[in-house]
Amino acid sequence: MKKRTTILSAILLAAAFSHQCYAQADFTVEPQTACTGSPVVFTNTSQGSFKFAHFDFGDNTDTYGDNLQHIYTAAGDYTITMWLLNNDGTKSASVTKTIKIDDTPSIEIEDSKTMSQITVTSNQSVSYEWYLGKKKLDNTENPLFYYESGNYSVIIRNASGCEASAEIRVTAQDIESANNTIIDVVNNVITPGVKDGINDVLFIKDVSDYEHPCVVMIYDKRGKLVYTNFEYSNTNGFQGIDNAGNELFAGTYYYVIKSEGRKGVTGFVDIIR
């Protein structure tokens, strides 16, 4: 009986030792969908006994380590293999996983001084997030029409969430034409709800005689662009209706008006209903 107990103990000890030495390979990838140019973190989470972890990132690069960052420079689907190595360099265990890499959009930013607008160019279809200094703007349009000096920045994102950013400084005074020919806004109050034929529209004197188109941009108090007209006329001008055809609430709005060869003008208009 004693002999059987000794044999059983030896078997259990050997099994425990074998389990302790057996390595189970595993690692995490964060994020699992990434963008070119952005770091991907690979973390060795293996269990058991091993000496080294060897990563092959699937793009003809490899290295050793347990907590690594790698940057992919081309879009595609990549297979990552991690081997666990013993002291003598022999393989203990291995595991493979895949990662999808999407292209980061390109970005170029430009200030069109004569038209008071910042334009972003990208090689992809993207969304736009604008800032003036640290203040996030409600505008999500491109181009961005501005009426205030400062540092403007934009973050663009494609459908996969890959993003790029750019910043530009503009000076409102610099966008004014050296030509002293003014743009004369006759009224700063419109009453479109009254329908009496008086102050129904933001009226620009002699705008029909301008040599170049007159561009009018209207902003609300939060800086959101609500109205744009690239060929403004008094017969088809701003009457308190936004770009989507909705009536704007009564209140104060701000305008930027430009026409090539004329001195641009900014100001406010009150809507009274």
**What integer is the mean pLDDT of 181-186?**
90
Mean pLDDT of the region 233-247? 94
**Tokens at 263, concatenated:** 């001195």
Given this model, what pLDDT does residue 61 score?
A: 97
pLDDT reading at 69 higher than 60: yes
Residue 271: how many other CB atoms lie within 10 Å:
21
User: What CATH class does 177-273 carry?
Assistant: mainly beta
pLDDT confidence band for 260 (50 / 70 / 90): confident
pLDDT at 126 over 90: yes
Q: What is the pLDDT of residue 21?
A: 54
Phi then psi dihedrals of residue 230, to 5 deg: -85, -10
Q: Are strands 33-35 and 91-102 parallel, antiparallel or unpaired?
A: parallel
pLDDT per position as a tens digit, 5-51: 555 454 444 444 444 457 899 999 999 889 999 999 999 999 988 99
Q: What is the pLDDT at residue 26?
A: 96
Say which residue, 89 or 196, is predicted with more confidence. Answer: 89
Q: Are 108-174 and 177-273 the same fold in CATH?
A: yes
Measured CA to CA, the distance from residue 243 to residue 232 in angstroms comes to: 14
pLDDT at 175: 43
Contact status, residue 112 vs residue 119, Cβ threshold 8 Å: yes
Q: Which of 171, 262, 265 is nearest to 218 (CA)?
A: 265
Residue 28, SS3? Answer: strand
In whole angstroms, give the CA distance from residue 254 to residue 266.
7
- The DSSP letter of residue 106 is P
* Mean pLDDT, range 76-98, rounded to an integer: 93
**Under 8 Å between Cβ of 150 and 118:** no
Pairing of strands 214-219, 225-229: antiparallel
What local confidence, expressed as pLDDT, does residue 222 receive? 77
| pTM for the model | 0.61
- Strand order through the sheet with 150-157: 135-136, 127-132, 150-157, 163-170
Which CATH number is 108-174 given? 2.60.40
Domain map (residue ranges) of the chain: 2-102, 108-174, 177-273
> What CATH fold (topology level) applies to the domain 2-102?
Immunoglobulin-like (2.60.40)
How far, in Å, CA of 11 to CA of 61, rounded?
A: 44
pLDDT attached to residue 240: 95
Q: Residue 81 above 60 pLDDT?
A: yes
